[in-house]
Chains A and B, each alone.
Chain A
């Protein structure tokens, strides 16, 4: 941070004594233009996020304030039937679906990602850089709808032939999601492992520990907060992913009895229903409430990541 302060002080001492000089004017103008332009860009950024939070929460809260749906009822209700005789807005099945798919995806992807990171940093860095890293980057670039398409044409038929049921459901969603979040987890784990303090590993080797003992007892525990950061970011991505999950999960509004039964997530129900409702209706507002839950979860995930990073820096 000092390097930024220094030139600033420098600048002023140079400009100030020459304020009356005619050459200074374009100089100051230039500086002024730069400052105003960049500040405006930042203001746009801040206004955008403020607007998103404001609009989503104002519509999401309208369900409770003007439409009289109770918050507890929405969060714990088991039945979602907005078109019924007595409309019911129970979002628990969707909340359950979102949490279970993203948690399962993280459980599948975390060990794979950590193995890949260990491979790239500890075992064969050369091969890792040349082969595995580009592979991970490519995986990160594959669009979510393509994952959904592959899920529909490979994962679902496979699950259908091996397990009872239609193949669609939480298991299919979690498998597709685990692929999508693998790059996030791997990249962060690789960064953490390669930034490991020098000498730590050498010390362990000098004491006669094998490579696995060093990795398992020393490298993994020291970098654990960073590894967890990757997993949480991956989960956060899985939680907000909409289309790939919607394509393979089946979209039935109830809590499934098994992993291979049709289910729904918060994002999938918003995707499917939003176009069919009228702005301002209770059904529409209830969907905004689901979006508000998604938004709130984003903040929770960011908070957890920040907490883990702080622990890591200490």
Chain B
């Protein structure tokens, strides 16, 4: 076989494999949406689940997922920004910084189920928070934190050196330089990264089985007192998220239409992920235009 033929064959194979990957994803999304979309209705999105009867919805689960995401971001963003700023601006090269970097790396590769068990033991039992949204948010923080640190660090490293030096030369302190010169420039990258990370949090389930719990109390959506156990806003109530719900009905679903509910819920989850993905891109571009004045 001549080198030319080998080149042609290899190129064809590589193109075919790449096309296959695109087709597989298209097929995957198509299948989920095709099976799930017919089942999605206003009733499905807002009503509560049924254990043994058909016709259950995913209302509380959807709400719990979004609420959990908000809680997680409230905890993660300040911590992640702070740690990321430290890593990119204050850390001096040396053994200590290297080991912190290693810690971030290890933390991001911990299996989510181990983080969930840790949450069960420490947050749920030792701190006595019980199966609650707050416990779930803390467990998700363990996951999300390394991501946030990396996103912030990379975004700050991407700020042009001249900008930083000009600010320092004007007599601003280092902290002021970071907060009012560097962070705005790094913001598009940070926001994009955060939204993408949120998509991940939204779909996470293994860590939540043992922290946020696998059941929701009967929620009363007219009760907005965050201290009442039936209020949707109470962060200390158990909460089953959408992803956990999908897992539960697939493994132990008793309702006769369990597979349709799983399909519908999966489609909702996928649509949410797609929204996160596209809004991250769009928002990143928008902020980039705003902050850099490029058209």
A residues apposed to B, CB below 8 Å? 1, 3-4, 7-8, 10-11, 14, 27-28, 30-31, 33-35, 37-42, 44-46, 48-49, 51-52, 55-56, 59, 111-112, 115-116, 118-120, 123-124, 128, 131-132, 135-139, 141-146, 148-150, 152-154, 179, 182, 209-213, 215-216, 233, 236-237, 239-243, 246-247, 267, 270-271, 274-275, 279, 288, 291, 294-295, 298-299, 301-302, 305-306
Query: A139 near B25 (CB under 8 angstroms)?
Result: yes
Known pairs A33-B175, A55-B121, A143-B204; A150 contacts B28 (CB<8 A): yes
Contacting pair B250 A247 (CB below 8 A): yes
B219 at the interface (CB under 8 A from A): no
Contact between A148 and B25, CB atoms less than 8 A apart: no
Q: Given known contacts A52-B114, A146-B246, A294-B113, what 9 new A-B pairs fall within 8 Å (CB)?
A: A33-B175, A45-B104, A45-B149, A141-B200, A142-B28, A143-B243, A148-B250, A237-B109, A275-B209
Q: Given A38-B86, A39-B86, decide whether A142 and B203 contact each other with a Cβ distance below 8 A.
A: yes
Q: How far is the CB of A296 from chain B (nearest CB, A)?
A: 11
Binds A, one of B47-55, B77-85, B223-231, B283-291: B77-85
Which of B37-45, B232-240, B270-278 contacts the other chain? B270-278
Instruction: Give the residue among A30, A145, A240, A294 with the most B Cβ atoms within 10 A.
Output: A145
CA–CA, A46 and B86, complex, Å? 13
A231→B129 CA distance, assembly (Å): 39
Asked if B3 lies at the interface with its beta carbon under 8 angstroms from chain A, I say yes
Cβ-defined partner of B113 (8 Å) among A116, A131, A153, A242: A242
Partner of A149, one of B7, B176, B262: B262
With a CB–CB cut-off of 8 A, which chain B residues contact A302? 102, 105-106, 109
Name the residue among B114, B142, B250 with the largest chain A CB count within 10 angstroms.
Answer: B114
A150 contact set on B, CB distance < 8 A = 28, 31-32, 266
B109 nearest CB across to chain A (Å): 5
Most buried by B among A27, A37, A48, A179: A48
Partner of A145, one of B107, B121, B178, B246: B246
Once the chains bind, are B3 and A279 in contact (CB under 8 Å)?
A: no
Q: Which residues in B have their C-beta under 8 angstroms from that of A246?
A: 251
A-B contact pairs, 23 of them (CB 8 A): A7-B174, A38-B83, A38-B85, A38-B90, A115-B14, A119-B14, A132-B22, A141-B196, A141-B273, A145-B246, A145-B250, A146-B270, A149-B263, A212-B11, A213-B6, A236-B109, A240-B114, A247-B250, A270-B117, A279-B121, A279-B125, A291-B117, A302-B106
Question: What is the bound-complex CA distance between A109 and B32, given in angstroms?
Answer: 22
Min CB distance B292 to A, Å, is 21
Question: Which residues between 247 and 287 of chain B lie within 8 Å of chain A, taking CB atoms?
Answer: 247, 250-251, 259, 262-263, 266, 269-270, 273-274, 276-277
Nearest-neighbor residue (CB-CB) of A146 within chain B:
B266
Closest approach, in angstroms, between the C-beta of B179 and any C-beta of chain A? 8
Contact A210 B277 (CB under 8 A): no
Given A38-B85, A38-B90, A242-B206, CB of A149 within 8 Å of CB of B10: no
Chain A residue, CB-CB nearest to B86: A38
B interface size (C-beta, 8 A) = 96
Q: Is the CB of B122 within 8 A of A55?
A: yes
Question: Could you tell me if B18 and A119 are in contact, using CB atoms closer than 8 angstroms?
Answer: yes
Q: Report how many A-B pairs have Cβ atoms within 8 Å.
A: 261
Q: Is A135 in contact with B273, judged by CB distance below 8 angstroms? A: no
Chain B residues whose CB sits within 8 angstroms of the CB of A14 once the complex forms: 171
Mark out the residues of chain B between 202 and 223 whose CB falls within 8 Å of any chain A CB in the assembled complex: 202-206, 209-210, 214
Given A56-B114, A150-B32, A30 and B175 contact (CB-CB distance below 8 Å): yes
Contact check, B10 vs A45: say whether CB atoms are below 8 A apart: no
Knowing A41-B82, A44-B79 touch, does A271 contact B111 (C-beta < 8 A)?
no
List chain A residues, Cβ under 8 A from B24: 179
B103 proximal to A (CB < 8 A): yes
B100 touches which one: A34, A45, A149 (CB < 8 A)? A45
Q: Cβ of B263: which chain A residues have Cβ within 8 Å of it? A: 149, 153
Provide the main secondary structure of the chain B interface. Answer: helix
Q: How far is the CA of A153 from the CA of B267 in the complex (A)?
A: 14
B residues 59-118 in Cβ contact with A at 8 Å: 78-83, 85-87, 89-90, 92-93, 100, 102-107, 109-115, 117-118
What's the nearest-Cβ distance from chain B to residue A251, in Å?
9
Residue of A nearest to B126 (CB): A55
Question: In the bound complex, how far is the Cα of B161 from the Cα of A142, in angstroms?
Answer: 37
Instruction: Select A40's contact among B82, B146, B244, beta carbons within 8 Å.
Output: B82
Nearest 9 A/B pairs, CB to CB:
A143-B203, A240-B111, A34-B175, A41-B82, A38-B86, A210-B7, A115-B17, A41-B83, A212-B10
Q: How far is the CA of A1 from the CA of B157 in the complex (A)?
A: 11
Closest to A297 in B: B111
CB atoms of B118 and A56 under 8 A apart: yes
Which of the residues A136, A210, A298 comes within 8 Å of B106, measured between beta carbons?
A298
* Contact present for A141 and B203 (CB under 8 Å): yes
Task: Check: B193 CB closer than 8 A to any chain A CB.
Answer: no
* Residues of chain B contacted by A3 (CB below 8 angstroms): 161
Given A143-B204, A143-B269, A243-B206, also A37-B21 (CB < 8 A): no
Are A112 and B111 in contact, CB atoms less than 8 angstroms apart?
Answer: no
B residues 144-163 touching A (CB-CB < 8 Å):
145-146, 149, 161
Contact in complex: B273, A143 (CB < 8 Å): yes
